[in-house]
Amino acid sequence: MYQASSKRYESMFYPHAGISGLKLPAISLGFWHNFGDTASYDNMKELTFTAFDHGITHFDLANNYGPAPGSAEKNLGRILRENFQAYRDELVISTKAGYDMWDGPYGNWGSRKYLMASLDQSLRRMGLDYVDIFYHHRMDPDTPLAETMGALSQAVTSGKALYVGLSNYDGETLKRAAAILDDLHCPFIINQNRYNIFDRTIEKNGLKETSVKLGKGIISFSPLEQGLLTDRYLHGIPDHSRIKTDGRFLNASSLTEKRMSQIHRLNDLAKRRGQTLAEMSLAWILRDGEVTSVLIGASMSSQILDNIKALENTNFTKEELRKIDEISLE
């Protein structure tokens, strides 16, 4: 039986998710990759053990994470049952619904029927009575926003979720959704969106600014731009890289001459800061306190340990920030 490290809370820090009472680790572990049925179960266990032993208390999932869809939740359920029963109250487990999950008109988007059915399925797969955070995974152009927000509120009032979040929303829709949830007295606390040095969408669509104004937290996914903001591709494409093993989200065409030049220049700046490129990239996201947590993926425990080192220096000079913008936004 797994026994967690007695020193697990010594190196992590835990910002509040917006103005809520819930604290999240500054580094959270995502189950988007490496927790499906094609991955090694023993490695999954090691990843979760390493994360928790170093203060990562938040495991983030979605109904469709795999492959196959649902398998990441199923595998986490087994890990929780076999190893984490004594630590459930020290964990924040989140899941989402909004993308394709099952056939027919009720397995997608944002209807009350889909969201509540999906949450019930997720709880069964994970063997949980409740999740700590339940997200709507993407904006739905066809379902009334009030219906989707009503379903999130119902998830809380039914005891199946403690808090709710929104993922892949823009600033204007977030504002309208937050007003509905406030009227329903629903504890909406966090937004999950893609954000990194190369992808500034939430700065442009109002999501970051609106979240801060409304007192909502932000957790960023793809903080390392699928590995581009690491040293992985500085000297070519490694044989076991995601580009060669899974080209769905990153392929060789992404490594243009301009992009490679940017990566090398950012890497040089990271070295001058005494950090790796990955450490600097994670620290940059956390630099201003407006992002609660960065959501990392990992295939090896060593990657988790390396990413946690980013917390040793999240301060940037004005010149460093200007230089990062100059390189990444050119």
List pLDDT tens digits, range 59-93. Answer: 999 999 999 999 999 999 999 999 999 999 999 99
When pLDDT is cut at 50, 70 and 90, the band that residue 234 belongs to is confident
For residue 175, being part of any structural domain is answered with yes
Pairing of strands 188-194, 27-30: unpaired
Q: Cα 113–120–147 angle (5° rounding)?
A: 30
pLDDT tens for each residue of 178-226: 999 999 999 999 999 999 999 999 999 999 999 999 999 999 999 999 8
For residue 38, being part of any structural domain is answered with yes
φ, ψ of residue 219 in degrees (nearest 5): -125, 130
For residue 90, being part of any structural domain is answered with yes
For residue 22, being part of any structural domain is answered with no
For residue 174, being part of any structural domain is answered with yes
Task: Give CA–CA dist 315/51, Å, rounded.
Answer: 24
Please determine, for residue 239, whether its predicted confidence score (pLDDT) is greater than 60. no
Query: What is the number of domains present in the chain?
Result: 1
Task: Give CA–CA dist 259/253, Å, rounded.
Answer: 10
Alpha helices in 139-250, H assignment, sequence order: 145-157, 171-183, 201-204, 207-214, 242-245
Closest CA to 50 of 69, 70, 71, 34: 34
251-254's contacts with Cβ under 8 Å and 24+ in sequence apart are 254/226, 254/228
Pairing of strands 58-60, 92-97: parallel
Please determine, for residue 249, whether its predicted confidence score (pLDDT) is greater than 70. no
For residue 248, being part of any structural domain is answered with no
For residue 146, being part of any structural domain is answered with yes
Domain containing residue 51: CATH number: 3.20.20.100
List the domain range (segments joined by +) for residue 191: 27-233+279-313
For residue 264, being part of any structural domain is answered with no
Average pLDDT over the chain reads 95
